[in-house]
Amino acid sequence: MSDRGLSVSGLTFQIGGRTLFEEIDFDIAPGEMVLLCGRSGNGKSSLANVLNGYFPENGGNVKAGHIKLDGKELQHLSVQERSWSVRTIFQHARLSFSMKTLREEMVFCLENAQVAPDEMNAQIEEKARHFQLTYLLDRPFDELSGGELQRAAFVCADLVDAPLYILDEPFANLDDETSRIYMDYIKKLLQRGKAMVVIDHRLDRWEWAERWLLLDKQGCLHDLSLVSPEKKKELLQAEGVLVEPPSVERRRNNESQETVLELEGVHIAHTEVKKRSFFRKKRETMPLLDDVSFSLKKGTLAALIGPSGKGKTTLFKSILKAMPYQGTIRIGGEDIRNLKPADLYSKVGIVFQDPSLQFVQTKVLNEMVLSVRAWKSAEEGREEAAARELLLEHQFEEQLTKSPWLLSQGQQRRLAVLCMTVGKQQLLLVDEPTYGQDAQNAKKIMDKLTELCRAGITCLFTSHDEGLVEAYADEIYQLKDRKVRKQR
């Protein structure tokens, strides 16, 4: 290839005693987008982090003939030095930020770019308007939904005019309408001559992309643009990143008359910060959900859908009494206001949008043992054996002694779901259960939730994957215009 664009030769990466990929070569030309696909845990995010310099600066061993961008060798540049040439939107968008709010983050980026102070505010306001995110400028990142964090990451990535962009699961927490807006943004970057690496498990979004690279479980990289469509499909299926969708006939009619979850006239508001100047702020209370009323019967697998940042995760928090609300929420006929925290958590389990917040042990096996023991889902003395069996069944044989925080996002999600589904809860709340999952593992997670519901647990999950919702949900509730309405 020419001196322009990205060129990688003989790249090998080892971490934790494992070689994730070995002697791989690839090029990306200016204006070209490459979709990097593969099973969860195969090393896609690690490859992205080698390119942006996070590795080996933060661990692991990297060897390469060269890693060049526009003819410039990147290997000896730090993460900060590379950030002017390589812009990354991380799979976990919160990791993209150093400051507390989007405005502060944008100021930080512009300061590093040596933009004149008297020009910053105008640039910030213009970018926020362009991405329709003015309302997020002064809200703390810790209060934002996963989708809002991803949208904020796009804004910050656009502040620096870099030749290479790496997007790791960029649409995982975004609704389809917002995803289409940002897809148009991606195509405009390509038209401007930017090289781009996109990591995604939703292959259907990228049919228009000419080049797909498959990173297999042996650490080999396959350029699928060099094989026939039939061979491409064969390789994707063999790696478990392309599976036949489940039939909608798997849905079942729920004949139970026992109500597990009941919401009656629930109102939820959040406090929004309005910035009048750099030093003056005004707080306003804004309605988020208004007069929400619905109920779920025992054994129901229900989906809660709706645009990003409109209150789905907040509703989950209210059901756990972690967010103030007005109205009535009952679990098994009991008003949750009358339940002590221990009693409430014995009835309701949750898998967070960010699964890493749930872990308390330093090893995967110990985390699973703790859950088995806490929920008494195995005979005394057999907790470790039961935990090990569950982990091996879900392909964690190589991660048993690894820290949960060192797993890939997809592996963390699977572990969190597994830990929370060994109990005897009446209600399970699962926020984006298949986020960061390849097709095979997404199917396993949803099949597990279906199995639990058939055994009598009630489950309410959020998702932006319309096909998955259609295939698995017994009932669908849509959050729109601050209301929750039953669609099916």
Which pLDDT score is estimated for 172? Answer: 77
DSSP bridge pairs for 212? 35
Is 169 tagged catalytic? no
Which pLDDT score is estimated for 245? Answer: 58
Q: Classify residue 236 as exposed, middle or buried by CB count within 10 Å of its CB (0-12, 13-18, 19+).
A: buried
Which pLDDT score is estimated for 368? Answer: 95
- Listed in sequence order, the residues at least 6 apart from 253 whose beta carbon sits closer than 8 Å to its beta carbon are 474
Which pLDDT score is estimated for 325? Answer: 95
Which pLDDT score is estimated for 254? Answer: 57
Which pLDDT score is estimated for 276? Answer: 53
Which pLDDT score is estimated for 40? Answer: 84
Give strand ranges (E) for 342-448. Answer: 348-351, 427-431
CATH 3.40.50.300 applies to domain 6-238: yes
Which pLDDT score is estimated for 281? Answer: 65
Q: Please name the residue ranges forming H helices in 58-116.
A: 79-82, 102-112
Question: Which listed residue (432, 466, 470, 475) is catalytic?
Answer: 432
Q: What is the dihedral of CA 210, 216, 218, 223, to 10 degrees?
A: -10
Which pLDDT score is estimated for 430? Answer: 93
* Ranges of the chain with pLDDT below 70: 1-2, 243-255, 272-282
Distance of alpha carbon 56 from alpha carbon 48, whole angstroms: 12
Pull the structure tokens for residue 367.
Answer: 């985390």
Which pLDDT score is estimated for 2? Answer: 59
Distance of alpha carbon 182 from alpha carbon 165, whole angstroms: 14
Which pLDDT score is estimated for 248? Answer: 43
Which pLDDT score is estimated for 226? Answer: 92
What is the residue extent of each domain of the chain?
A: 6-238, 249-486
Asked, colleague to colleague, whether 6-238 and 249-486 share their fold, the answer is: yes
Write the pLDDT tens digit of every residue in 198-242: 999 889 889 899 899 999 989 999 999 999 999 999 999 888 887
Q: Which fold has domain 249-486?
A: Rossmann fold (3.40.50)
Are 428 and 458 spatial neighbours (Cβ–Cβ below 8 Å)? yes
